[in-house]
Each structure stands twice: as C-alpha cells, then as structure tokens.
Structure 1
Amino acid sequence: MTDVSQSGPEPAQPTVEQQTVQEQQPAQEQPKPADNQPVDAQPVNEQPVDEQPVTKADFSLMNKFIRSTLLNSTHDVEIIRSDPNNPLYSVKTFEELKLDETLLKGVYDMGFSKPSKIQETALPLLINERKNLIAQSQSGTGKTAAFLLASLSRVDVTQKYPQVIILSPTYELAVQTYEVARRMAKFNSEITFRLVTKGQPVSNHAWTETVLIGTPGRMVDSTLKYKNANMSKIKVYVLDEADVMIDTQGHKAQSMRMRRALPPDCQILLFSATYDDEIRRFASDIAPNAVEIHLKREEQSLANIQQFYIVTRTEEDKYRALANIFGTISIGQTFIFCQTKKSASYLTQKLSNDGHQVSMISGDLTVEQRTQALLDFKEGRQRVMISTNLMARGIDIDQVTVVVNYDLPVDKGRIDKETYLHRIGRTGRFGKDGLAINMISTLDEKRMIDELEVHFGQPIKELDPNNIEELEKLEQS
C-alpha cells in the first residue's frame, strides 16, 4: 500500500471563548429550612453562558478519537428500500462477504472480530448488490469501516487511476478517514491513496492513486478544474458526515457539482449522524433510489438513573456537600456541569487543591485539547470532568457513572428540560445504572426540581450529604 499526502497537519486554530455577561456570585446565606419545608424563597440569578458553541465537525472529530472500539450496540436497525419485494439478508461473519484475502486480513488486524449491527446489514447491500445507500448512525457503530470496506472491495488494482472518491467536511475528519483506510489496506500494496486537502500542490497531471480522500472544495478543484481524475471512471462516491457537510458553507453545492459529473452507475453512499428534513432532501437528490438504514440512537430512558437533589445555603455549603459525597462513596467517572465558566473554573481549582483527579473542558480549548481531556477522562487518568453546557450533548462516553448538576440548567429564568436530559444522559448509557445529583439553593430551584419530576415522570429524592449512612446506602443501591 502506498499513499500520497500533504506535508503535515496545519495548526489548529483555538476556539475563542467569549466573556460571560454576568458571572456567578455565591448564593446569599439564608436560614436552614425545616425538614418538611421547601428552600426559602430566593430569586434565581440567571447566569448566561456565552461560550463559543462547539461545531458539529468538532464533536464528530472528538467522537472519532475517543471511540477506539465499537459500541456494544443493541440498537434496532430500520431498513427502507425502494423494492420491498426484494428480500434483505445480513451477515454474521466477514467471511460471508467473499472479500479479498488482503482486505479480510486488514479488517481483523484492525480489531474487528465480527460485523457490527450496521455492518452486518449494510455490507451485503454495498458489496454484493452495489446499492446506493443512505445510512444514519452515531459514532462508534462501525460505519466508517463499512463504507471503506465496500469502497476498497470495488478497486480494480490492475487499473492505475482513481476509482473511489470519499469526501469529509473538514481537513481533520478527512485525515482520520485516510488513516483508517490505510490501516485497512495495509496488506494490499496495490490499493493506493491520495489525501486531497488544503495545502497540497496543484498540478495538471493525471493521478494514479486508486482512492481519493479529501474535502469538497479541494476535491472539486482537483477533479473538475485541473482534471487530475477522470470522473467517468469513478465507481464509488462517499459523503461522510453529511449533516456536517451541509452545515458548512459551500460544501453542499460542491458535493452536488461532483455528483453531476459522475457516471450513472456510480455507487453513492451517504452517512449522517442526524436525519432531519434538510438532510433528507439532500440525500434524495444526491443518492436517488437508495436503500435507507437508520440505526436508531439509543432511546434515552431515565428509569435506570437514580435522581437526587441536595439543599445548600451558601456556596461553601455547596462545595462541602459535593466533597462529602466524594469522600464517602466510590462514584467512579463523574461529569459535573456548571452554568458558567467562572463557576466551573472555581470548582476545578477547589477539587484539584483537595487532591481529586479533575479536568475542565471549555470553549477556549482547541479541538485537540478537548479531545485529549476527553481521552484522559475516558481512560481513567482523570476521574472528574467539569464542564458548562458545552459538553452536555454530542459526546458518547459509556464509562460515566455519576452526573452532578452543580448548577441547574436554566434558560431565561426557566428550567431547560432538554439540556437537563442531555446532561444526566451522560450516565445510565447502554442499559447501565446511573446516578444524577442536583445541587439547589433557592425556592425557584426547588420548583424546577418538581417540574422535572412531573415532566419526566421519574422521582427526584432529597439527599442529605451529611448523612453518612444514607450516602453509603446510595453506593450499595
């Protein structure tokens, strides 16, 4: 296997975090409420979080880095095809696909022992029937390996010209796909690769590499403007991360330009983590008469997440309550959410000073720094991850056992139910039991807890952080 790529990654640009309009102040001290009374009335001091949002592309890249193995998924696969009378079949082993021995060896060398849920359904369609495919699935389901295996199996190594084009929305995602493809083809030196991204020298020479992997803008220039590849000879056209693609200015139009230059029998494969109306229209335009596979994201059930709230009076009480929990029970990997960056920074410093393995993830980190922080957390080098709403959704880490809402998620003075669901959904994943603890100090916040109970139909019980016996029971439950 040989490859041609550019000289190296370009330096990532840091994500700029804006200053918050109003930073969090400690709660005013108030009398301790009676055991059977709600917290004393105190207005909620809404804290806007003015962080730069993480892009879909950044979330996708971080998930690719932290997902070194496949999810142990029991997700249902929904299949829609234009010919309902044509029976579907799946495979349970890679041998059933009659793959080239070098590709089969590469698949096993990558650590795949058997097809994932999406692979066992998609691969027969892609390799044996050569159908157009639209697939929706999350990171860690094996979709990258699926489209690479299908693409590489179509390469005629006796023909030294491009036969496969794979598009990713960003340079970093293209490099990830490129590296995975090289690993898969490591035992076949005749399958060759070219990375087609920014910074690459421009020429009018015809390329001899069989697989092109890159970003839409540079790929359009290379294939349509400089004629580095004969588009009439392309057999497979892949659009990965299509939801990110159409979210990026110009990429949608560039992808369609390339599609129109392809031969009628070119196989089109489109993959997307989401499947809203915009994606649906784009997919039907670019991949007509395609088989659709929807790998349903795990239904978020709160039934296996125990939810509690803790009443505190002051900011110092709030921290002591959290410290008591950490000091009494073994809670494993923990996500702590704060409403502002200032609150998150304060808590990170306090916990670190008290000897806890803790890291903070925020909008002023580059995607590489965020990814490293997540890897440290995932692999157990850090036991506690502190964040604002920045990481409330989009990242899948299945080792989290506890989520602490150090500040409740509030939007315009009201409890943000969707963000609450995404926050505590970091735990209790893939059928495992989880624990969610909410810290409150005001009457309004107690009303928000009541509102969450009614909305989700699940109890949220009061927890006394000074009751060692109660905390020990919590650990045993």
Structure 2
Amino acid sequence: MDSESLTVAKELLLSLKTDTTDIKSSGIEEVNMLRGHHLKSDHFSSMRIPISLVNKLCERRIDKASFIQKSSIPPILEGNPVSVQSNSGSGKTIAYTIGILPKIIGDRSAQCLVITPTKELSRQVKEEMTFYADAMQLKVENPVTRNDYTPGKAEIIVGCPGTLLNLIDYFRDIKFVILDEADFLLQPEKMGQETLLILKLIPNAQRLYFSATYSFKIKDLIKSIENGKFLPHFKSDCESRLSYQSRMFLNQSNFIPTKELVTIYDTENKKPEEIKLFHTFVHENEKISFLLKLYDLLPMSQSIIFVNKRSTVDELKKIFENDYYKVSYIHGDMDTETRTKFVNEFSQGKTKILIATDIFSRGMDIPLVNAIINFDLPLSRFGLDTRTYIHRIGRSGRFGRKGFVLDFCSQENDFEAVNKVSKDLSFPNKFFQKNDLEAAWEQIENSNFY
C-alpha cells in the first residue's frame, strides 16, 4: 500500500466530509449569505448607480463590489466597450447587469441583447437580471424560438446566437450587446459565425465581453473588432437565414469605434483557489463500478458527473437509477422542456447528482455543488481542452465555497493531460490509487474520525 496515496485518499474523504457537513448544517440560505459575503470589496453605494439597485443588492446581502465589479461597472456606465476575464463565481453577471440597467429606458423597446451559449445559461441569466431589472421597472425576456418573441414587451432580450440571429430584424436599434462566455461564443468552430453576424448587424451598440477564460486568439479578435478593423467572413448557411434587408445592410455596415476598449483581466485562465484537484487511474471497463463505489464512500452535498458522449449520459442515468439513486441528467439531444425540468430539480436540491455533457459546463451557478467528477476528461484534437476543464471545475467552489474535483484517468495520455493542466494552473492535482480510497475509509471509520 502506497502511504502517500493513502494520505491523499484520506485528505479527499475528510475534507469533503467536513465541507458537506458544513453545507448541510448551514442550509441554502446561509450558503447564499456566504456567497454575498464573498462579493465584497468596495461599496456599491459609492458608484453612480440608482439607490433602487443598491437596495436590491442588499436584499442578496451584497453591499460591496468584487474586484471585477468595481473595475468594470464605471467604464460600462461611461459607454466604453469592455472585455472582462475573471474566475467563475466572481460576480460577472452582476457586473454587467448593474452596469447596463441604469442606461436603459423603460419603454418596452428592445435595447439590450445578452448572448449566451446554452439555453440553460440563458434562463439563469434571465432570472438573475429580472431580479435587478424589477427595481427599474424593466422587463427581461428569454425567447427560445422565433415564435416565442413578441416585440414591445421587454427592454432586455437573453438568448443563444441562433435564436437571436433569427430575430435580428427586430433588433436594429439595440444599444447594448453583452457576450456572456465570450470565448466560446466567438470561436469560429463553435458559435462564432452566428455571433459575429449579430455584432456586424448591430455595429453601433456598446459591446461587453465577459468570460472566465480567453485564448490569445479571442483576445486579439475582440481588440480587432473594437478597433474597427475586423471584417468577418461568414458561412453561407448563416447568411442565407437573413432577410433581404439584413443581407443588404450586412454589405454596407462597418464597426465604427467611438470609445476605447477597456480590458480587465483578473486572472490568466486560473483555477479558483478554493477548488482542490485529485485524480486516480481507472481502467475503462472499471470506470462505472468505481463511480458507484465513490458514491458509497464519498459524502457529497451535490455533485456533477461530466462525460463526453450523450450516450454515456443515458447509460449512467440508467445504472444509477437501477442502483436506487435519483439523478438529473442533461445533454444536447434532449428537448428544451426536459432539459429545463432536470436543471430546475437539480438547482432546487431535489436531486443530488447531475450527469451532463459540456452543455452544462459554462456559467451555471448551483451553490450547493461541492464535487465534480470528470468521468471523461474534456479532450480536443490537441489533447486536453484546458479551458473547458476550467469551466467544468468552476461549477464547484462558487463564490468562495470549497470544491473538490476527481479526474478519472484511464490511459497514459490522460495522465499527461492531467499533468499539463496542473502545470497550466500552477496548482497540484493529487494522485491516489483507487483501492486506497476504500482503505482510507475503513481506517477513518475504525479511528472514529468519520
């Protein structure tokens, strides 16, 4: 038995047990209080924002701004384009919400677009913005399809690029465009073509870019856009969805820089300090049995299991339910209503386990999640996808709470990937042998520590 491996296994068990006990004893209300306490730096009341918004922040027990909020809200109010990079859980949604709401006129005309990469994140952003918009008598809508939208009902529209592009003829007079998870939205191989079309068709809007991670390529792209030098190339299938008027406007429009881009980079693609990383070796044909063993041994508040394939989501869901676990699950093949149902029941604490593909890796805020299991590591053609890994683990350790991540390594390349991300994040990813986890549990049980 490897003594170092056993020590790491004990650390994981005891730390997770302590944190889960703390969460259960405090409850959701106190967890949200801790979240509010984490977002404190300078008083919001000293900024040029309406007292009604300050009061709404106080309702959430937030009276001071985080670094990102105090840095980004003033230039947003001044009308500058702003690009923000900051860790998950640092208060980015509040930053752009509080920055933009005082600039909107309450006449029910569409004035602000918030673009997000997933329907789930769109709904969460809509709910968060609505809480604060109520103080200003403003409305927020989240159309999922073209038929969901009726003009003249809301000043703020939240949605995914495809839906918003289909509605673009209604949005010619938009004054503000916010990209939430901008790094993903601007990637050409992801949603970049649709997102760039939207930006091109609303050239005079104030643009705000928010993300936990940025590649150098996306940073340069944002600078080019805001310098008025960027002329994107569009795929014909995206452009063919536009009306004749939009296609004509597209050929004539140009970005005209009016104010200097303000860049606020709080971190260089780093892991939140509250998150602890662990990994173990598991043969591919033993991953499912070891996963079930984990849930017998590890005391978790709520947990997310990330996989790479939709079929794996369905397979694990059946296995967990056969073992009498109640789980939520989500992947891209599910219809919107079903996805919403499972996300809601998990966020409300009705289930403790969520099995998901990377559709759930960005932006979602579930305060009671303290464990992430990477059943499959996120991979790209170049190896480990570090940015997706950061977004995955950022679903835990939110707003100053602790988070624990366990990576399954099933081949030599996985160890290389884990070592690479550990080096990239400048933080250790501790290894233990999977058999030592049960041995650690027995030792702790017998010594009455547990």
For Structure 1 versus Structure 2, the TM-score category normalised by the shorter chain is 0.5 to 0.7
Deviation at 1:140, TM superposition (A): 4.9
The 3-state SS of whatever aligns with 1:271 is strand
* Equivalent position of 1:460 in the other structure: 431
The 3-state SS of whatever aligns with 1:270 is strand
2:368 counterpart of 1:425: no
* Equivalent position of 1:353 in the other structure: 322
2:228 counterpart of 1:280: no
Supply the distance in 2 between the matched residues of 1:74 and 1:240 (Cα, whole angstroms).
24
Supply the distance in 2 between the matched residues of 1:438 and 1:374 (Cα, whole angstroms).
24
* Equivalent position of 2:70 in the other structure: 120
Given that 1:217 and 1:254 are in contact with CA atoms closer than 8 Å, whether structure 2 keeps it comes out as yes
Given that 1:196 and 1:219 are in contact with CA atoms closer than 8 Å, whether structure 2 keeps it comes out as no
Supply the distance in 1 between the matched residues of 2:141 and 2:435 (Cα, whole angstroms).
57
Deviation at 1:355, TM superposition (A): 2.0
The 3-state SS of whatever aligns with 2:435 is coil
Selected match of 1:168 from 78, 96, 114: 114
CA 372–296 in structure 1, closer or farther in 2 if over 3 Å, else same: farther
* Equivalent position of 1:133 in the other structure: 82
Supply the distance in 2 between the matched residues of 1:431 and 1:183 (Cα, whole angstroms).
23
Supply the distance in 2 between the matched residues of 1:156 and 1:390 (Cα, whole angstroms).
34
2:212 counterpart of 1:270: no
Amino acid at match of 1:117: F
Q: Which segment is superposed worse, 323-332 or 296-305?
A: 296-305
Supply the distance in 2 between the matched residues of 1:345 and 1:238 (Cα, whole angstroms).
36
* Equivalent position of 2:264 in the other structure: 293
Supply the distance in 1 between the matched residues of 2:136 and 2:375 (Cα, whole angstroms).
53
**Counterpart mapping for 1:9-158 below 5 A:** 92-109=42-59, 112-127=62-77, 129-137=78-86, 140-154=89-103
Given that 1:134 and 1:283 are in contact with CA atoms closer than 8 Å, whether structure 2 keeps it comes out as no
Supply the distance in 1 between the matched residues of 2:123 and 2:374 (Cα, whole angstroms).
36
Supply the distance in 2 between the matched residues of 1:148 and 1:419 (Cα, whole angstroms).
25
- Which has the larger helix fraction? 2
CA 104–394 in structure 1, closer or farther in 2 if over 3 Å, else same: closer
* Equivalent position of 1:383 in the other structure: 352
2:203 counterpart of 1:259: yes
Deviation at 1:383, TM superposition (A): 2.4
Supply the distance in 2 between the matched residues of 1:223 and 1:389 (Cα, whole angstroms).
30
Selected match of 1:471 from 432, 441, 445: 441
* Equivalent position of 2:280 in the other structure: 308
Given that 1:424 and 1:436 are in contact with CA atoms closer than 8 Å, whether structure 2 keeps it comes out as no
Given that 2:269 and 2:390 are in contact with CA atoms closer than 8 Å, whether structure 1 keeps it comes out as no
Could you tell me the TM-score, scaled by structure 2's length? 0.59
**Rg (Cα) greater in structure:** 1
CA 112–135 in structure 1, closer or farther in 2 if over 3 Å, else same: same
Question: Over the residues paired in the alignment, what is the CA RMSD in angstroms?
Answer: 5.1
Supply the distance in 2 between the matched residues of 1:196 and 1:420 (Cα, whole angstroms).
25
Given that 2:279 and 2:430 are in contact with CA atoms closer than 8 Å, whether structure 1 keeps it comes out as yes
Deviation at 1:258, TM superposition (A): 3.5
The 3-state SS of whatever aligns with 1:300 is coil
Given that 2:362 and 2:392 are in contact with CA atoms closer than 8 Å, whether structure 1 keeps it comes out as no
The 3-state SS of whatever aligns with 1:356 is coil
Given that 1:110 and 1:183 are in contact with CA atoms closer than 8 Å, whether structure 2 keeps it comes out as no
Amino acid at match of 2:393: G
Deviation at 1:293, TM superposition (A): 1.9
CA 212–93 in structure 1, closer or farther in 2 if over 3 Å, else same: same
Supply the distance in 1 between the matched residues of 2:53 and 2:306 (Cα, whole angstroms).
44
In the alignment, structure 1 segments of 5+ residues that lack a partner are 1-34, 37-66, 76-89, 225-230, 263-267
CA 365–168 in structure 1, closer or farther in 2 if over 3 Å, else same: same
* Equivalent position of 1:239 in the other structure: 178
CA 270–352 in structure 1, closer or farther in 2 if over 3 Å, else same: same
* Equivalent position of 2:169 in the other structure: 221
Give the number of equivalent residue pairs: 363
Deviation at 1:474, TM superposition (A): 7.6
CA 94–357 in structure 1, closer or farther in 2 if over 3 Å, else same: same
In the alignment, structure 2 segments of 5+ residues that lack a partner are 3-30, 229-254, 424-428
Given that 1:344 and 1:386 are in contact with CA atoms closer than 8 Å, whether structure 2 keeps it comes out as yes
Deviation at 1:133, TM superposition (A): 3.0
CA 368–463 in structure 1, closer or farther in 2 if over 3 Å, else same: same
CA 473–387 in structure 1, closer or farther in 2 if over 3 Å, else same: farther
Supply the distance in 2 between the matched residues of 1:423 and 1:126 (Cα, whole angstroms).
25
Given that 1:138 and 1:297 are in contact with CA atoms closer than 8 Å, whether structure 2 keeps it comes out as no
